[in-house]
Amino acid sequence: MSFVGKVWKILVGIKDGLVLLFMLLFFVALFGILSARPNPGEVRDGALLIDLAGVVVEEKSAVDPIAALLSGSAPIEEYRARDIVRALDAAATDDRIKAVVLDLTTFLGGGQVHLTEVGEAMERVRKAKKPVLTYALGYADDHMLLAAHASEVWLDPQGLAVISGPGGSNLYYAGLLEKLSVNARVYRVGDFKSAVEPFSRSSMSDEARQNASGLYGALWEEWQANVKKARPKLALARVTGDPVGWINAAGGDLSKAAVSGGLVDKLGDRAQFGARVAAIAGEDPWSKKPGAFANSELDAFLADVGSPKRGKAIGVVTIAGEIVDGEAGPGVAGGTRIADLLDEALDDDLAALVVRVDSPGGSVTASEEIRRAIQRYRDRKIPVAVSFGNVAASGGYWVAMPGERIFAQPETITGSIGVFAVVPTFENSAARLGVNADGFRTTPLSGQPDFVAGFSPEMDAILQASIGGTYTDFLALVSKARRMPTDKVDAIAGGRVWDGGTARQLGLVDEFGGLPDALAWAAAKAGAKDGDWHPVFLGEDAQNYDSLIRQLVTSNTARAPISQGGDIFALASRRNGNLAAQLTRDAQRLMGTRGIQAYCLECPASVSTQAESARIGGGQVGGLADWLAWLTAP
C-alpha cells in the first residue's frame, strides 16, 4: 500500500501541475487577446502617430499562425489605405488631435493610387489648421508621394533622399532555357501581351517597350504633377536631371543635398524631431524618454472613431492580389472564396454592391467564377459599381464586366485585355541525358500532353486554339459591357496596358474617382439619401487576432532585418532579396500548373501580391539600389 500511495501522490502532483500549467496558459492567452485588440481608451490629447512600419495595401493578408510561429518572425506589417485615410479625416475634426505624425522610418511603399489618396487626406488635415510632420531615415519615390503633403519633412542627418522614377529591368530566360534544353512552349494572343516574353526572348520586344514607355511615362507625369503641386520648393528637375552634380554640390553629404534640393525641410535625430512634435502637441506625461511626445496610435484611434452603421447597407467586395483558383486569401483573390462571399451576401438585403479591384489578374477560370457571382447581383436588379485601385488589368478587368459604372484614377493601371499560357517540355533535355520516348498511339492525341517526348502538332494546335477562344470570349465580354463593337475592343486590346486617363478616353472606364465616389454612386442608384447609407465590407472578420500573433513572434531580433541599416549601402544590399523573390516567382510561373492566364505581368509589381523580400525591393529600396549603381559607376 505504501508503494501505491506514493504512486498516487505522484499522479495527483502531475495532475495538479498540469492544471496549473493550463490555467497559466489560459490567462496568458486571455491577456494577450485583450491586449492585442485596439483599446479606444488609449486615445488622448496630443498627436496622432501613424507608424507606417511596412506597406500600404488594399486588403491585408491573413497571418498564418503556424508559419509565423515556426519562423519566429512576423510577416511585414500591412496597412489598409482606407484605414489611414479614415483616421486622417477623423483627426482633422477631432479636438484631441493637435497634429499628425507619420513615421516613415521603416515604410516599404505602396501603390501610387493609394499613396495619392493618403496624401490628399493629409492635405485635408492641414486645411483644418493642424500640422502634419513626417520623419524618416530615407526618402524615395513612395515616401515623397506622402511627405510632399506634410507641413514639415524631417530627415535624420545620416539619412538620404533620392527620386528615381518608375521603371527598371526585367529578367529574360531564353538563353538559360536554351542551355538547359528546356522548351518553353508559349501560347498567347496579342502582340502586346508581353507576360510570356521572359521565357521566349532575351530582351524586351519593341511592342512591349512601346507599351511600357507610354504607361510609365504617364505614371511619372502624374507623380511629378502631384508632388510639385504639393511641394513647390522641390527642385525636381535638378534632383532627377543631374543627380551627381546635385549631390557633389553638397560635398557628397546626402542629407544636406536633400535639404538643398527641397526634398526635406529639416535635419534632426529622433529626439530632436520628438521635441519639435512635443512643442506642438504636448509632452508625454508617461515617458521621459528623449523624443517622447503625447500621442495616440493608429489602431486605438480607429477603434475609437468606429465605423458608420446608419441607413442602407452598400456591400463592398474586395478583389486584391493575384486571382487564383480556390479558397486563397485575403490578400490573394481566391475565386471560390470571393464567389462564396458574394453568394452568401445575396441574402443580406444589400441595397447595392461595389466591386473594389486592385489586381493584375490571374486565372481565367477564377476570374470567370467571380464575374458570374457579380452578375447574379445584376440579375436581381441590384446596382453594381466598380472601383479600380492601383491595378485592374487582365483578369482584374475581366471581373469588372458586370459593373454598371467603372471608376478609376488617373494613376490606375488597367486594360491588358489578352490571355496566355506557358508550358515547359523537356524532350531536348531528355535527349541530352540519353532518355528517349517511344510507343504506340491510336490517335494523334494518345499520350498527350507528353512532357518528355514533346507535344504533337495536334496538341500544340489545340492549346493555341484554346487560347484564341478564351481571347474571343474576353473581347465579347468587354464589347457587351462597354457597348463597343468587338473590332474596336480588339483594336485597343491585344494585351496593351493603359493608364487611367487613357483608359477613360478609350471607354474602358467611365469616370475618375475613388472608392468613396463609387459608393456614393451606388447608394444614389439604390435610392439612398446622402448620409443615409453605410458600407459593409464582405468577408472582413471583426475578431482579427493577427496583432496577437505578431506580439507572440515579433521581437527586436525579428524586426531587425527590416529596420537596421539606414544608409544607402545597407538599403542597396536588400535588393538581393528582391532578386531572389523575382527568380522564385518566375520559376513558379514557368513550372507551375496554372492554366490559361489573364495576367498582367508587365504591370508594375503590387506590394500586396509579392513575397516579403520582394516588397522591400520593388519600390523605394529598389530605386535606391539603382541610384547606388549610378553614383558609384566608373
- Residue 322: band (very low, low, confident or very high) from pLDDT cuts 50, 70, 90: very high
For position 604, what pLDDT does the model report? 64
Can 394 be counted among the known catalytic residues?
A: yes
67, pLDDT greater than 50: yes
pLDDT of residue 6: 65
148 and 295 fall within a common domain = yes
Task: Evaluate whether 439 touches 399 at the Cβ level (below 8 Å).
Answer: no
Same domain? 294 vs 317: no
Same domain, 302 and 379: no
- Give yes or no: residues 375 and 243 share one domain: no
* Planar angle of CA 114, 118, 120, nearest 5 degrees: 115
630 vs 81, residue with greater confidence: 81
Both 376 and 469 in a single domain? yes
Q: Is the pLDDT of residue 7 over 90?
A: no
Judge if 501 and 362 occupy the same domain: yes
Evaluate whether residue 548 is within a structural domain. Answer: yes
- Identify residue 109 by its one-letter amino acid code: G
Q: How far is Cα 293 from Cα 527, in angstroms, rounded to an integer? A: 47
Q: Cell 488589368 belongs to which residue?
A: 393
- pLDDT tops 60 at residue 183: yes
Position 633 scores a pLDDT of 38
Hunting for cell 487613357 — which residue is that? 502
Question: Is the residue at 226 inside a domain?
Answer: no
Q: Could you tell me the pTM of the whole model? A: 0.85
Among candidate residues 537, 564, 583, the one where a domain is terminated: 537
- Structural domain contains residue 178: no
The residue written with cell numbers 488597367 in the block is 414
Residue 229 grid coordinates: 503641386
Q: Are residues 475 and 553 in the same domain?
A: no
pLDDT of residue 399: 97
Residue 233 designated active-site: no
- Here the cell at position 41 is 481608451
Nearest one of 320, 396, 383, 312 to 353, comparing CA atoms: 383
Q: What is the pLDDT of residue 456?
A: 86
pLDDT of residue 560: 38
Give 148 or 615, the one with higher predicted confidence: 148
Mean pLDDT of all residues in the chain? 84
Burial of 430 (0-12, 13-18, 19+ CB in 10 A): middle
Rounded average pLDDT over 75-97: 93
What's the pLDDT band for 549 if we cut at 50, 70, 90? low
Does any domain span residue 170? no
CA distance 304 to 205: 53
- What is the rounded average pLDDT of the residues 504-523? 96
Same domain membership, residue 527 and residue 579: no
Catalytically annotated residue among 194, 394, 416, 608:
394
Check residues 151 and 36 and name the one with the higher pLDDT: 151
Closest C-alpha to 475, from 598, 334, 360, 601: 598
Would you state the pLDDT for residue 122?
Answer: 98
- In sequence order, the β-bridge partners of residue 424 are 184
Q: Which of 481, 508, 537 is the last residue of a domain?
A: 537
Q: What share of the chain is helix, strand, coil (3-state, %, to 5)?
A: 50, 20, 35
For residue 330, cis peptide bond before it (omega within 30 degrees of 0) = yes
pLDDT tens digits, residue range 388-420?
999 999 999 999 999 999 999 999 999 999 888
Tell me: pLDDT of 547 over 80. Answer: no
- Grouping H, G, I as helix, E, B as strand and the rest as coil, residue 532 is coil
Residues 512 and 590 in one domain: no
Which tens digits make up the pLDDT trace of 557-594?
444 344 444 555 555 555 555 666 677 777 777 776 56
pLDDT of residue 353: 97
Answer yes or no: is 11 within a domain: no
Return the residue matching grid coordinates 442602407: 312
Residue % of the chain over a pLDDT of 70: 81
Q: Which of 276, 278, 298 lies closest to 52 in space, CA to CA?
A: 298
Total tally of structural domains belonging to the chain: 2
Rg of the chain in Å (alpha carbons): 27
pLDDT at 23: 72
Length of the chain: 634
pLDDT class for 437, splitting at 50, 70, 90?
confident
Residue 201 CA to residue 209 CA, distance in Å, equals 13
Q: pLDDT tens digits, residue range 333-355? A: 999 999 999 999 998 889 999 99
Residue 615: which pLDDT band, with cuts at 50, 70 and 90? very low
The alpha-helical segments, DSSP class H, found in 231-291 are 236-241, 243-249, 254-260, 270-281
Q: Is residue 369 part of a domain?
A: yes
Same-domain pairing of 441 and 347: yes
Structural domain that includes position 487: 312-537
In the listed set 505, 537, 569, which residue is the last one of a domain according to the structure? Answer: 537
Q: Is 416 left (phi over 0), alpha (psi -120 to 50) or beta?
A: left
Domain assignment of residue 176, yes or no = no
Same domain, 390 and 484: yes
User: 10 Å Cβ neighbour count for 285?
Assistant: 10
pLDDT at 39: 57
Residue 498 has pLDDT above 90, yes or no: yes
**CATH code at position 514:** 3.90.226.10
Residue found by looking up cell 515579433 in the block = 554
Confidence at residue 329, expressed as pLDDT on a 0 to 100 scale:
79
- Check residue 452 and give its pLDDT: 85
**In 3D, which of 101, 53, 106, 122 has the Cα closest to residue 293?**
101
Q: List, as one string, the DSSP characters of 406-452.
A: EEE-TT-EEE----EEEEEE-HHHHHHTT-------SSTTTT-S-TT
Candidate list 60, 98, 130, 193, residue with the active-site label: 193
Question: Is residue 509, in this structure, part of any structural domain at all?
Answer: yes
Q: Are residues 574 and 551 in the same domain?
A: yes
Rounded to the nearest 5°, which phi and psi values hold at 349? 60, 45
Cα gap 352→387, rounded to integer Å: 13
Quickly list DSSP for 467-511: HHHHHHHHHHHHHHHHT--HHHHHHH-TT-EEEHHHHHHHTSS-E
Q: Which of 174, 66, 69, 154 shows the shortest CA–CA distance to 104?
A: 154
